[in-house]
Amino acid sequence: MAPNNTSSGYNTPDSSLEGVLPVHPTAARRPHAITVQSENTSYTDEYITAQYQNRGAEVTVSNGQYNIVPTVQNVEFRTKRAPAKTGLMMIGMGGNNGTTLCATILANRHNIVWHTKNGVQQPNYIGSMLRASTVRIGTEPGTGREVHVPVSDVLPMVHPNDLVLGGWDISGMPMDKAMFRAKVLDYDLARQVAPHMELLGSPLPSVYYPDFIAANQEARADNVIAGDDKQAHLEHIRADICKFKQENELDRVVVFWTANTERYSDIIPGVNDTADNLLNAIKTSHSEVSPSTLFAVAAILEGEPFVNGAPQNTFVPGVIDLAERHKGFIGGDDLKSGQTKLKSVFAEFLVNAGIKPLSIASYNHLGNNDGHNLSAERQFKSKEISKSSVVDDMVNANRLLYKAPEVGPKGEPIGKGEHPDHIVVIKYVPAVGDSKRAIDEYYSEIFCGGRSTINIFNECEDSLLATPLILDLTILTELLTRVQYRKDKANEYSPLYSVLSLLSYMLKAPLVKPGTEVVNSLNRQRNALETFLKACIGLEGNSDLLLETRVW
């Protein structure tokens, strides 16, 4: 339909409905209102400093006897109070997630409201754990009533409206047109936000190595950095980050992969197993260096954090090594938006209820460009891997229901032990567009040989679920770059460890410190984050002991 230039608002950045409704609470700005009055917490203009006691327990098992020694470790956290002026540079900016993120930030920034068949709709940040969920911070004296605050108020965080937006795409379509191509937003919102999107221009040209994404994406690739010299590509991307930072006077740029899912890279000794080998492989343009790995290396070398929102193994060992060497920050993999998020709650619920899932069968169909790319075998494989490990830790934690792995001669486990059958199928059905359908069957053993079958049908508006996750990951990453710690007052403060596993809540296959265990349980992931944020202001974890309600 041709736009009506005189009355539709299509050609003017000012929406006719702008500001008709007050700002939604999830988008509202509040002064940082929390002060902890305790000898453990101190405030200066620049920092919040908090003493924290990290309590745990060391367990040894011998002859079936568990011997437990409680442990306590003193840690001091110091958080820089002023959020950095932050840019978000997305790789894949012109895709469904990238355009939806830009358009919804712009809609929030300008408070553009729009008509739907249900009435007038206002922009908000529903779906953002930071902006739209709360944390129990304590109880009111006298009444004992619980007090909850927005998670984003626990420590000073960047407001999503303030993120400076930019990035790359192998498709050069201008952002307003790319938003219409994505077919995610209601037309009345899209037409009003289009002039703002137009001001973002076209994404920067990107690195395109056709071997890594599906062949069906080739037609989009009209905006690529020339040549096949990977070292030159690396320098090009580093210069892009540097220029974006300077031009927008930014203190921090979060570089975020929300481009197509790539195939897995082979891990080859001498090529991508160490930082030096990887840097050398880039110099010699080795074929196993993927575009996403190149972007991760560029971000680390520029001193900026990198987050991987897709499932491929961007973080080959050489990238982790490089991040450690530069004390850089990385996080991933794969946004946990729909089916896997539910599974990380549902499987845990069953196992923790003492019920034994025998099989979990998951089907998806979707019709957006992500689905088109995933219809190719090697790219599907990356997604299948990231979706399939989600129940591992829950099963490993319960050896009453699932047999432990056999043990080899040196006591080493052989295989994974008993496990529910778990399959994941993804099909491309263009008609359903961005509205992914996920069907899951949980088939479980219950009391005395009984069986229980639970079927879940979940319709996900894919990009509308994914966008708030990208925002949370970006805002949290920026925050985590401002937190330092020391275990002894005599020591200097250190930054957090390079792999930001505190981002796990938003990620399907969380990357963790090599050699440590992955936590997939959504509840535990959220608990870790709440506990960490509270620790940074000197509050103990969110104990549900609620002793005052249990004693006289």
* Residue number, nearest CB to ligand NAD: 95
Q: Cis peptide before 153, with omega less than 30 degrees from 0?
A: no
CB closer to ligand NAD out of 177 and 524: 177
CA dihedral 223, 225, 228, 233 (to 10 degrees): -140
The nearer residue to ligand NAD, 102 or 350, going by C-beta atoms, is 102
Taking the complex as a whole, the smallest distance from the CB of residue 531 to ligand NAD amounts, in Å, to 26
| Least CB distance to ligand NAD at residue 50 (A) | 34
Q: Closest separation between CB of residue 490 and ligand NAD, Å?
A: 44
Decide whether 310 or 390 has the Cβ nearer to ligand NAD.
310
Q: Pick the catalytic residue from 383, 434, 462, 534.
A: 383
Closest by CA to 101, choosing from 166, 158, 18, is: 166
Cβ closest to ligand NAD, residue 86 vs residue 258: 258
Tell me how far apart the alpha carbons of residues 473 and 467 are, in angstroms, rounded to a whole number: 10
| Cβ closest to ligand NAD, residue 385 vs residue 466 | 466
When computed from its CA atoms, the radius of gyration of the chain, rounded to whole angstroms, is 24
Catalytic residue list contains 327: no
Residues 6 or more apart in contact with residue 178 via CB below 8 angstroms? 94, 95, 98, 99, 169, 171, 203
Please tell me which residue in 153, 334, 370, 440 is annotated as part of the active site: 334
Task: Quote the CA–CA distance of 116 and 188 in Å, as a whole number.
Answer: 7
- Residue 188 designated active-site: no
Least CB distance to ligand NAD at residue 508 (A): 7
**Structure-derived torsion over alpha carbons of residues 341, 291, 249, 254, reported in degrees to the nearest 10:** 20
454: phi then psi, degrees, rounded to nearest 5: -120, 130
- Given 341, 343, 387, 508, the catalytic residue: 508
Query: How far is Cα 248 from Cα 81, in angstroms, rounded to an integer?
Result: 21
User: 85 an active-site residue?
Assistant: no
Which token pair is 441?
A: 């069957």
Binding site for ligand NAD (CB under 6 A): 91-92, 94-97, 168-171, 206-208, 213, 220, 258-261, 291, 309-310, 334-335, 337, 368-370, 373, 462-463, 465-466
Minimum distance from residue 367 beta carbon to ligand NAD (Å): 11
From residue 284, give the alpha-carbon distance in Å to each of 210, 233, 278, 296. Answer: 18, 12, 10, 18
How many residues comprise the chain? Answer: 552
Q: State which residue, 273 or 461, has the beta carbon closest to ligand NAD.
A: 461
383 is catalytic: yes
Which residues form the catalytic set?
334, 383, 436, 508
